[in-house]
Structure 1
């Protein structure tokens, strides 16, 4: 018999282990959502589009080659320079040619265009990484919410079961004449309320499951469990991480860089543009000259606008846009610091409240047990017993929700420090390009044109 019990024990343990191993973890849910959610695909497409627009600037460094031509009829009336036979008559006319031009100097306009677009690509990378952090937090919230409501259903079912067990005792006591019939009606009323509470939680679970499916992209797994993440040791550490890692602050910094580079593009209009030009053309009977003629040329061209109104206003506009971006960055830093503090305070208060609820729940369970004994000894009324049972249910209900709140609070802390996706095993390189485009074009603007952008999967 002992051997049989051992076999059954290990069999049950194996079944539980297999079930736990097959449960979908919160990490798996986040990883699935971050690779399939269409909201992230939108931001990813914008990042890739801006990268292609950066590479498109290659044309600014390549020659411009144009082919031109025309064919038709002409009549030239120039009696002072044309003979009587050639003047004022209709002749065929045609021309064809090709010319090429390449910019040798443009006041660093092209380089600053590359710098500005590189900053824009980096900004879109940071936007995608920030969106991924928000998505990871949304998935964590949806996952924990499903687990929470499933746990609340179990609490509600236990509450119904305890009331039903008490109801059977009350009916026996009423039938024996030891309690009035009103007590039987009272316990039936409380059972109905307990069943209504279960219906409310089941409805809320359905809503939580629907939200989970929208965010993650698949239905909740049957085996999901509450999990928590690590938190920093202090608010100061969290604040430092939040400011240093914030993708929002990094994104705004790229907007500052873009504004400065765009200002330099505008200033390049004050500089001359020097080009190397070459071409060849051939015409027939053009401008009153009979026969064929071929023109060939090569040389240096110069274009320089010495005066153009509105340039001072343009410089002032660029300066104000830069100032706007700088102010937005300062504002973002303050908001990130505030978010870190609020997140930390919320986590601390939730954890303390959860601890106190745990202690209160232990006391309430003890009180219910004592009241049960005193009710059996006719020292307590049914209403007394029902009241302490209601108090225990309320505290257990709050404690279950609080457990979920503490777990979610740890993920909010990680998200405040822009470390949530990384915690779930998702590298930045799995989501977006490396945000180093500005660094790559810093000393060699044309070097960026040698990159290869993989197609979207």
Structure 2
């Protein structure tokens, strides 16, 4: 890093040069001095690579210089509150031609000096608001610097892990090539001896070519990720990169906790909050244009031959002056409207950033859970296939397996092992992404030693959190649990006879009108369930007819209780199955079905009975009960 970047400022009031430490390290240390006990650092190689990237990356340096400039700007604005002292001096030589006087030519030498002190007394708090704006702008630049640093370290960690990943995959591809080469040579020897068919040699040669192609692909992938590592760090990766195993240290155990932590600590969100405050203070400063400006001044002058009067002269004056703009073409009013929209723009940027962080955090945390399960399952898959490959080789030697079986087993082992390695490194990357979303990656790498005063040590959002970015879990599509899928599989194992015996007795054929009524009632059930899951209470109540009566309470109490259930917080999932129809008369159908209800804090299975009547073309509920 150039020498000009090696001075760090950890506070406005103190400025200390450090010639042996990087300014980036010091600022990052200030940023994370709140940590009580820093976690154990992972491999030093990753820490050193991250530090080299921070020291040399232009984007991080750009953010650092922007923060420094904002620090000096805040001090420059503060100067407007102090007195202004001006000194002026004059020396002149005057010659006059006055032909009416006895001496037509006269000359006069003048020397004078003036010292003035001016102090602002009142400007409608414009300077104070500008000072507040500069302070918030400084914090905005600081949080942007932290976000850029966190993003850069995440990219370095990703490149570091990818280099390890593809080195491992190259090793697997080499082993796969060696195995196929060995088999191919064995088959070739047997073919030359007449003990093996030439078609077997063709199969072995084809599989060897595929293994060779896979090896070439993995080597190319390793080259590409090594080039990315070199771009970020500034040097090629070392031959030995230690394993990184503690990137999951300190992660929360639930998605809501991870989301709350990210939204509270993410530097990008904090930067947009400070940007909102900066624009608000700038807008408040516009009010000063509608108020007078008052200042006091003291001036003293001393000189010779001043103002055409010969001799030594001294003059002193003290004054208080006021200026008040009464009209300037509506500029100030337009500025007020302008900053009203700029504040709205800052709100939109804050909420957009919050939503982006929320999405990033949700996906990263879900990946940590999903990939952990995948690693476990893929490990079982690889171990089982590895055992099968060894058995196939022994059986091929004894003539109980074909060559194609052996070649397929080799390919399955390679594919399974490759999938396992990818899942393992994807899991580590997901851990790093989750840490970075909460600005925890830098402390985890050991870059959190406190140096100086933290510029944001006591910082908080203080009610300025994003308004259109609620902390709520992601509700994905409804899918069956593993237990349900296992139950389905067990049902498939039952003999056909028992399945036939379990079926209910066939129902008599329905007439055309009854079929139409049953379809209408079923569509009404689906719409009724959809309104419940959408928490649309007005639409939900529209399915109940005027003649409906609650079974166990009065109508108003039933309605109030039902409103609480329909509009409760959190996602609601309702599944309906095994619908049976009983036709009680023309346009009157009794439906019985199983209902599975699941909310954030409650789950229930019941048999629901709804009686429907067709009223003015719409199916309405006239009776309801549970079994």
**In which range does the TM-score fall when normalised by the shorter chain?**
0.7 to 0.9
Gaps of 5+ in 1: 1-21, 78-82, 440-457
Deviation at 1:430, TM superposition (A): 6.1
The answer to whether the aligner puts 1:417 opposite 2:454 as a matched pair is no
Measured in 1, the distance between the counterparts of 2:209 and 2:121 equals: 87
The 3 A distance-change label for structure 1 pair 274 and 361 is same
Q: 2:216 aligns with which of 199, 218, 224?
A: 199
Deviation at 1:338, TM superposition (A): 2.0
Q: 1:240 matched to which residue of 2?
A: 260
1:76 and 1:287 in contact (8 A); partners too:
no
Deviation at 1:258, TM superposition (A): 1.0
Q: Which moved more, 1:182-191 or 1:126-135?
A: 182-191
Measured in 2, the distance between the counterparts of 1:399 and 1:195 equals: 21
1:103-134: CA deviation from partner (whole Å, max 9, x where unpaired): 23322222222111111111111111111111
User: Counterparts of 1:217-366 in structure 2 under 5 Å?
Assistant: 217-224=234-241, 225-230=243-248, 231-282=251-302, 293-310=313-330, 311-366=332-387
1:356-383: CA deviation from partner (whole Å, max 9, x where unpaired): 3222212222222232223222233222
Q: 2:226 matched to which residue of 1?
A: 209
Matched position secondary structure for 1:102: strand
- Paired residues, number: 413
The 3 A distance-change label for structure 1 pair 87 and 152 is farther
1:147-189: CA deviation from partner (whole Å, max 9, x where unpaired): 0011001101110121122123213322332202332343233
TM-score scaled by length of structure 2: 0.60
Structure holding more helix per residue: 1
Deviation at 1:433, TM superposition (A): 5.2
Deviation at 1:75, TM superposition (A): 5.5
Measured in 1, the distance between the counterparts of 2:102 and 2:195 equals: 137
When the two chains are superposed, the root-mean-square deviation of aligned CA atoms in Å is 3.0
The answer to whether the aligner puts 1:403 opposite 2:403 as a matched pair is no
Measured in 2, the distance between the counterparts of 1:86 and 1:245 equals: 88
User: Counterparts of 1:416-455 in structure 2 under 5 Å?
Assistant: 416-427=437-448, 434-435=455-456
1:39-75: CA deviation from partner (whole Å, max 9, x where unpaired): 3222111111211121123431132314153635465
The 3 A distance-change label for structure 1 pair 437 and 71 is farther
Gaps of 5+ in 2: 1-41, 461-627
2:367 and 2:427 in contact (8 A); partners too:
no
The answer to whether the aligner puts 1:85 opposite 2:101 as a matched pair is yes
1:276-298: CA deviation from partner (whole Å, max 9, x where unpaired): 21223356667665666543222
Measured in 1, the distance between the counterparts of 2:103 and 2:333 equals: 54
1:283 and 1:292 in contact (8 A); partners too:
yes
Measured in 2, the distance between the counterparts of 1:308 and 1:163 equals: 86
TM-score scaled by length of structure 1: 0.81
Q: 1:50 matched to which residue of 2?
A: 70
Measured in 1, the distance between the counterparts of 2:315 and 2:397 equals: 119
The 3 A distance-change label for structure 1 pair 86 and 343 is farther
Q: 2:543 matched to which residue of 1?
A: none
Measured in 2, the distance between the counterparts of 1:377 and 1:431 equals: 75
Q: 2:183 matched to which residue of 1?
A: 166
Matched position secondary structure for 1:44: helix
1:273 and 1:302 in contact (8 A); partners too:
yes
2:129 and 2:281 in contact (8 A); partners too:
yes
1:275 and 1:301 in contact (8 A); partners too:
yes
Deviation at 1:245, TM superposition (A): 0.5
Structure holding more strand per residue: 2
Measured in 1, the distance between the counterparts of 2:78 and 2:245 equals: 50
Deviation at 1:416, TM superposition (A): 1.6
